[in-house]
Every structure is written in structure tokens, then in C-alpha cells.
Structure 1
């Protein structure tokens, strides 16, 4: 099954001319990179589902396989200049609202501690492609995101992203133990307030924390930000992932697309991030993969699922 999914996705990517030997700079290329990342899919048969199927004269219990795998729900970009976004194909969707933001020098060796970052999140086109090809067979789950749909745009989230209103007054924002690496090294950054400011001399770590903040926002409902939540509506035979949590791969994981394409996924904090992952332009792009479980409907009534 893994080989079949990979082959189909690769053929679609090749036929669309999306796979190129250059740094990814569009949402479409990020989708192509997701299509060839088998290690991130992590496909498995998780159990069976039981359904009650009834006709006019009698009812029977039918079974279907329950599968679990990751889906590239969103493409998240983090950058410092709104006039030079790393994802070039979204400029027409995201016009510059507040002017250029460029508070730090563009250098991978820049050790300025206080940084201001902008960030955006879009639905990955591969999120719906998985189920559109294999969905009727019940072997692949549909992701929650809509292709190219903007779920977060920091320029529109002005009060929360640049003024920390109202999260600067949250108790979490005053918790000195809320570092995303749980103070194991204390060298990453804090989740709250979830704004664009961070005190971090390492540009990669600063951008990773910002991406984690964005993922935290768009996977939850009722947040004090201007955004749209990635739908996570559970239904019979379909189990979407829980909200994203730091360091928990069961809620989501990240695949670097820019400055360097990676074929594997990690969770933040990534303590062994290579030096080459630092961007000379302070531009970063990740695919956010999230785990889904589902089974094919085989009757009118869902009875239960049994996990292996």
C-alpha cells in the first residue's frame, strides 16, 4: 500500500512539473515534496471497524479495515520581510497590509536576540489529493485542510501578532517554565504569548518556535487571533487529530521545505538540527503533517472500532 500511494503521488507530481532541483518557493512545490516523503506518511493498519448493514429483510454486521497515517495538512512559512515572502505564489492572495517588516539582518550568522517574524499558513494541496485518489477504497484518510486555503495571515492578525493583545495578559505568558523544550536546555523560546516576537539568537530556532505557535493556533478553536481553524470534525469511521502539541508526534510533525528540503519529519524542539538549516534570508517553510484514522463505511450504522 505504501508503494502504491507513493507511486501515484509521484506520478501526479511529475506530470504537473512540480518536482524541481531548486529550493521550494511555492505551495505547489511544497505539495510535491510532501508527495515523495514516504517516511512522513507513516502508514499503518490500525484495526477494524464494525458496521450494521440492514436490508428490507435482515441485518448483518460488516467489517472494514481501520487505517492510520499522516496527512500534510498545511504549509507554514516564516519570514521577516512581507515584501519578500518565501512562497512566491501566495503574493496575490496575501497583499501587504502593514508594509514591510524587516527588523533583523538577513544572515544565518546573525546573533541579534530580539526578532520579529511574520508567518502564514495555507492548506496543502496534497491534503485532499490523498482521499480523492484512494478514498473510495477506504485505504486513505482525507485531511482537514482545503488546498491553498489561507488559515493564518499574520498581517491581518495585527493586534495579537504585533501587540500581544490579549495574550500578554494570560497566565501562560508569565510562566517562566513554558519554554518549548521544557527547560531541558532553555535555548528555544516560549509558546506564549503567541505573537511574532521572540528573543532568540539562533534564527532556525526562532522560526521553529514561530511555526509551532502558528500550528498551535490553527489547530484549535476559539483562539484570540484572526485565523481559520483547520476543520477537525469527527464522524463515524473518521478520527481527526487532536490539537498540535509541542514535542508530541501523535498530534503533528514538521517537514522542512526551505531553506533545505528534507524527506523526513521531526517535532520541535529538534535538538540535532544541522547548521545548514539556517537560512541566509531568514526565510523558512515547513509542511505540517497530522495523523488521521479512518475506515470505509460498510453499513448504515457504525458500531465500534477495534484497535490492534
Structure 2
């Protein structure tokens, strides 16, 4: 009940125009059962002592939370997440001057550039306060990564020149294929180097890869300007992760990047190049019980 009240509070908050999304849209999307993927996967044991001692049990649960709001866009100040726009306007810098506006002669250029941001989702933090959900590790509204602050590395990718993934094709691709050769051939783009430039004609694929790169900075860091989220790449997102589009299309389901066909992506193109997603992170925890925690037994999700 508590979590429903929190989400309803956000849903009833003021809305913004269609060009942007706000916490209202994030709250609406957070009700997705497909993205939450909640299950009981074990038992937790608690020692309770009074005149004597006994062992009590509570469920061990596993689910996802929409920890990160990830945006990709063409120019500084055009972040679609309205609450972050004021943080994202930096003086004396420009985008890559490679606009994707449909009126531009460069719309079909293979080389594209986008800015990106990764922000702590306040809705995930609120959800984590509920008794039957795990606590989120993020800080609400925390700007974990702003490419406009990391402008030199985001425009050059120099800090990633020592990463093997930068030089080996197929090693770390945004693709749904597990075979390295197929992964490279059907890839939307490589995660490395983590810069804003990408050779990709498809606008939605470009935005998706750039978003994945920004989250990879938060996950694996390096010589970048970012705020650590306290998790490794494996913890933050599993194999291209669970991504839920918020803008320009507000979806009620999650998927990994790299699996949709060109035809499926046509309706998701934004003529101004502004995109936003929530990136869901997996959690496992015990529902709090009485007494002292002894341990847990994880058996797998019970259907």
C-alpha cells in the first residue's frame, strides 16, 4: 500500500510537454510487471530468543528496480528529462554538430554524435522503501554521469584507448547474439570507446548505444568525470540490460538493446533526436524478520 501511495503521488504531479518527460512519466512506467519481474526465490532464517530460542523464516525475494534514468540527445541543454535540463547546460561547448533533424542534409550521415546523462531515479528510491521490495542503492536525482561535464573524453574517447574492447571487434557489442562473430555482424554498435560518436545510420540504434555507453561509464568508470553508483557492470545491467523506453514512446515493457528490427524501430524515431529510458537493475534480498539474521537459502524463483 505504501508504495502505491508513493507512486500515485508522483503520477498526480504536474506534467510537462511532449518534448520532455518528468518524474510523472517515470512513475507511470514503474508499474510494469514485466520490468519488475518479481519472484520469491528462497527462504531467510531469523533467530528469535526469549525464554527460549526459535527460528523464524521470511521469503527471500528477487526483482528489478528502475534505478537509472538514461538520456541521449543531440546538443547540450536538450536533455529530455526535464528535472535534469538545468544541470546539463554548459557554456562554451557544443554538440558534435552532427544533427539528426529530418530537415538536415546530414540526417542520413553514418557518423552521428549525441550527448548523454545518467541520473538516479527518484521513483526507484521510493519503491525501495516498501516492505516487500529491496532497497535501491541509488540516490534520487543524483547526476551519476553528464557527458557535458566529461566533454573532453566524451568527444575523444582517449581514456578508453587501453581497453581491449576498443580494439577487438565483437568483444563488447550492443547485440542480442551470444556468438562473438554473429554479435559483431548484427551489432548496433560497440560499447567502447565510450564516446558520443558512432558510425550508425539508424537514429534509434545510435541513441540506444550512446545510452548504453553512458551507463557503462557509471558501471566501470575509468579516467572519467562521473559519480560511482556502487555497482559493477554485471550488477548494474545484465547483458545489455533491461531497458524501458520513456521518450519518445512510453513503453510498458522492458527489453535488451539489440533485439528489435529496423521496422520495429521506425515508430520510435524522434525528429529532434531526444531519447530517454529507465535502466532496471536486479536486486535480491530478505524480507525483514524478527530477531537476528542467521542466513538464507536461495533455491530459484518459485512459479
Tell me which interval the TM-score lies in, with the shorter structure as reference length.
Answer: 0.7 to 0.9
Shift of 1:69: 1.4
- Out of 110, 115, 120, the residue aligned to residue 113 of structure 1 is 110
Residue of structure 2 equivalent to 1:229: 228
Q: TM-score, normalised by structure 1?
A: 0.83
* SS of residue in 2 equivalent to 1:289: strand
TM-score (norm 2): 0.84
3-state DSSP of counterpart to 1:287: strand
Matches within 5 A, 1:98-137: 98-107=92-101, 110-132=107-129, 134-135=130-131
User: Which residue number corresponds to residue 201 of structure 1?
Assistant: 201
Residue equivalent to 1:307: 299
**Residue of structure 2 equivalent to 1:162:** 155
Displacement after TM superposition at 1:117 (Å): 1.2
1:173 and 1:130 map into 2 onto residues whose CA distance is 37
Aligned to 1:236: none
Unaligned runs of 5+ in 2: none
2:161 aligns to what SS in structure 1?
A: helix
**CA separation in 2, counterparts of 1:280 and 1:165?**
30
Does residue 83 in structure 1 map to residue 64 in structure 2? no
CA distance in 2, matches of 1:24, 1:44: 36
Give the corresponding residue for 1:13.
10
TM-superposed CA distance for 1:191, in Å, is: 1.2
Deviation at 1:226?
A: 1.1
* Per-residue Cα deviation, 1:99-154 (whole angstroms, up to 9, x for no partner): 2215223335922111121100111111111132x23xxx1112111111100011
* RMSD, aligned α-carbons: 2.6
Instruction: Structure 1: give runs of 5+ residues left out of the alignment.
Output: 234-239
Aligned to 1:50: 45
CA distance in 1, matches of 2:83, 2:299: 42
1:71 aligns with 2:65: yes
Aligned: 1:40 with 2:46: no
